[in-house]
Amino acid sequence: MGAKRRSRKSSKSIKKAFDRPKVEKAIKLLLDGIGEDPTREGLLQTPRRVCDLWEEVLSGMWENPSAYLRPITGESNQDLVVIKNIRFVSICEHHLLPFIGKVTVGYSPRGRRIVGISKIVRTVNALAHRLQIQERLTTQIADVVEKTLKPAGLLVIVEAEHLCMTIRGVKKPGTMIVTKEARGTFRKPDMQALVLS
């Protein structure tokens, strides 16, 4: 019995590959299920197109976000590094609708341990391009940056508009959800103010 539990647990950690035939079949079933004719001329290529879309917007599921963050030694000591307004699109796992927004990452390097700016952006993209919820995305960005750079302080802020609140349900376009993860010296409000200024 214990062996079965272990094998079941280990199989969950293995990521499946993107299965194009299965996704295209699911789109045809969806079209049929909502009362459309999947063989209608305007819909013939829809399963392939939607499959292409999902493969692109979920591409981060097959990426290792840590792989982008290779620390380098800066030429001088920096008190603060801030990357603002990193635009992203992610897919909410509850309704399979996008949430769109921006990320700010601020960190206080320990010693001269820094990373190329574009590497933070690539890390955000890898984590956003998967089924997500905003709270988890915020924490995952902080976890990856903290584990790799080991900064004295770290602040991650994610602001996004969720289409599940815009086009359905409460229907409130423009409503922004803000999540924040503060670590180390950035738990202090005055340090957070430096990032936000």
- Whether residue 32 is predicted with pLDDT greater than 70 in this model: the reply is yes
48-64 average pLDDT score: 96
pTM: 0.88
Whole-angstrom distance, CA of residue 47 vs CA of residue 181: 39
Mean pLDDT, rounded, for 95-106:
97
- 31 close to 46: Cβ distance less than 8 angstroms: yes
Ranges of each domain in the chain: 18-57, 65-196
pLDDT digits (tens, 9 = 90+) for 70-92: 988 888 777 899 999 999 999 99
Same fold across 18-57 and 65-196: no
Supply the pLDDT for residue 11. 43
Q: What is the mean pLDDT of residues 166-174?
A: 92
Residue 97 to residue 169: CA distance in whole angstroms: 13
- The CATH number that domain 18-57 falls under is 1.10.286.10
Above 90 in pLDDT, residue 15? no
When pLDDT is averaged across residues 107-114 and rounded to a whole number, the result is: 91
Q: Which pair of structure tokens corresponds to residue 101?
A: 């927004």
Would you tell me how many other CB atoms lie within 10 Å of the CB of residue 119?
20
How confident is the model at residue 165, as a pLDDT? Answer: 92
How confident is the model over 4-23, as a mean pLDDT?
A: 65
Q: What is the pLDDT of residue 137?
A: 98
Q: How many CA atoms lie within 13 A of 2 on its CB side?
A: 0
Choosing among 3.30.1130.10, 3.90.960.10, 3.40.140.10, 3.40.309.10, the CATH entry for 65-196 is 3.30.1130.10
Q: 159-191 as b/e, with b when 16 or more CB fall inside 10 Å?
A: ebbbbebbeeeeeeeeeeeebebbbbbbeeeeb
pLDDT number for residue 14:
53
pLDDT for the residue 16 = 80
* Burial (CB count <10 Å: 0-12, 13-18, 19+), residue 158: buried
